[in-house]
Amino acid sequence: MVQRRIPKIKDLAPLMHFKTPELNAKKRRLESALTIYDLRDIAKKRTPKAAFDYTDGAAEAELSLGRARQAFEDIEFNPSILRDVSAVSTGWDVLGAPVAQPFGIAPTGFTRMMQTEGEIAGAHVAARAGIPFSLSTMGTTSIEDVKAANPHGRNWFQLYMWKDRDRSMALVDRAAKAGYDTLLVTVDVPVAGARLRDKRNGFSIPPALTAGTVINALPRPEWWINFLTTEPLAFASLDRWSGTVADLLDTMFDPTVTFEDLAWIKAQWPGKIVVKGVQSLSDARTLADLGVDGIILSNHGGRQLDRAPIPFHLLPQVVREVGNEYEVHLDTGIMSGADIVASVALGARFTLIGRAYLYGLMAGGEAGVDRAVQILSEQVSRTMRLLGVNSLEELDPGHVTQLARLGRIAQPVAASVGL
């Protein structure tokens, strides 16, 4: 028989660890977020459906985005044991200058629509974290204001080539004069992808006040108060636009851009130049031969061509094609520090986070972005320690096994027709 007794106060005292209640609601909800997916859940509750779906969604059936995330889940790490990992370095040089983490903030459009602090919040966090911040051509904060928010850090400018070449290059000139060190030329938007969530939501810039949006706003008053009482939402580098995003892209962006145009842009930019949106071995080789400083394997977060190649699957092949000394960066589907570590192990010099950063922004403004970067940084460090490595340089393909879920079927040979 189990002998029972009444517990004594002196026995209970060591077990009592009552935490002082956190009265700051924002701090309380952000501290409860342990993963980027937790931040996504918070963001969904706090952001109107049209704005959240614009961030969260992708093109058509959203297969490209789902496959990109699945590719990261379908890996097996191969750790080494009995290594001294008391000290771990998560930084190295990227494009000729140091970064504190192997990831930076990707260029995102319409950022102040997600949360009113927008690009300024991202630039402030990037400055503190020692990582680059990328400003989109479709950004809602000016080139100069982002530089002022991150005066001593690394600022990158992302360029879409417009039909009006002079206006495009005027932005490039402004970025150069403001001290941006890298130009990201995005090449996978000859036309807009079919983003069906946006169509179904009647999404427009600026957001329209309809019966549906008003009803959706009722449980999200803070977003609407911020939206209605701060500087009107507009593109910092464009004229005001009233219409759908797809119409804007199709109206402004130039589907005739070629490798010759890229060489022309390169000749006018004084800093590093990286091409974003590379999705094939042959294009990667052509760009390396052209002399750009790096490429970003990306399918635009699944927002352009659905069923596009999975960047993480392309990564080892591209690195073999262009050589380990050439900088290959990667985005699309990254939701954890483990994803980032796996990318570096397979040859990526750097990665970019888009949705992960925006989920943090929507969850809590600048503090939410801080939390997203903190979560990813902690996961990078912990994953490296568990793999038994002290630095990014020690990561290699032997640390990662890509498990097969989607196998390629050989293309059938066309049957000959007899006469």
Rg (alpha carbons) of the chain, rounded to whole number: 23
**Is the pLDDT score of 31 beyond 60?**
yes
Average the pLDDT over 373-401 and give the result: 97
- If we measure between CA atoms, which residue out of 370, 309, 375, 390 comes closest to residue 339? 375
Is pLDDT larger for residue 352 or for residue 8?
352
CA distances from 142 to 139, 147, 157, 251, 362 (A): 7, 9, 11, 22, 20
Q: Which band of pLDDT confidence, cut at 50, 70 and 90, is reported for residue 216?
A: confident
The span from the CA of 70 to the CA of 333, in Å, is 8
Return the domain boundaries, the chain: 38-402
pLDDT one-digit tens code per residue, 299-315? 999 999 999 999 999 99
The one-letter amino acid at 266? K
**Is the pLDDT score of 413 beyond 80?**
no
Separation of first and last alpha carbons in the chain? 94
Is pLDDT larger for residue 246 or for residue 371?
371
The pLDDT value given to residue 258: 87
The span from the CA of 106 to the CA of 357, in Å, is 8
**Is the pLDDT score of 250 beyond 80?**
no
The span from the CA of 66 to the CA of 55, in Å, is 14
Q: Which band of pLDDT confidence, cut at 50, 70 and 90, is reported for residue 202?
A: confident
Residues 6+ apart with CB under 8 A from 408: none
Q: Which band of pLDDT confidence, cut at 50, 70 and 90, is reported for residue 228?
A: confident
**Is the pLDDT score of 69 beyond 80?**
yes
Average the pLDDT over 183-211 and give the result: 81
Q: Note if the pTM is more than 0.85.
A: yes
* Lowest pLDDT segment from 23-32, 286-295, 347-356, 364-373: 23-32
Q: Which residues are catalytic?
A: 300
**Is the pLDDT score of 24 beyond 90?**
no
pLDDT one-digit tens code per residue, 85-137? 999 999 999 999 999 999 999 999 989 999 999 999 999 999 999 999 999 99
What burial letters (b/e) apply to 258-272, b meaning 16+ CB within 10 Å? eeeebeebbeebebb
The span from the CA of 356 to the CA of 56, in Å, is 10
Average the pLDDT over 362-378 and give the result: 98
- Which DSSP category does 181 fall into? -
**Is the pLDDT score of 415 beyond 60?**
no
* Lowest pLDDT segment from 68-82, 244-258, 381-395: 244-258
Which residue spans within 279-398 are E strands per DSSP?
294-297, 327-330, 350-353
3-state secondary structure of 316: helix
Q: Which band of pLDDT confidence, cut at 50, 70 and 90, is reported for residue 406?
A: confident
Average model confidence (pLDDT) across the chain: 89
**Is the pLDDT score of 194 beyond 90?**
no
Q: What is the CATH number of domain 38-402?
A: 3.20.20.70
- If we measure between CA atoms, which residue out of 341, 307, 275 comes closest to residue 68? 307
The pLDDT value given to residue 416: 44
Sign of CA dihedral 139, 144, 150, 156: positive
**Is the pLDDT score of 174 beyond 70?**
yes
- Which DSSP category does 27 fall into? H
Quote the Cα angle for 66-367-361, to 5°: 35
Average the pLDDT over 35-54 and give the result: 95
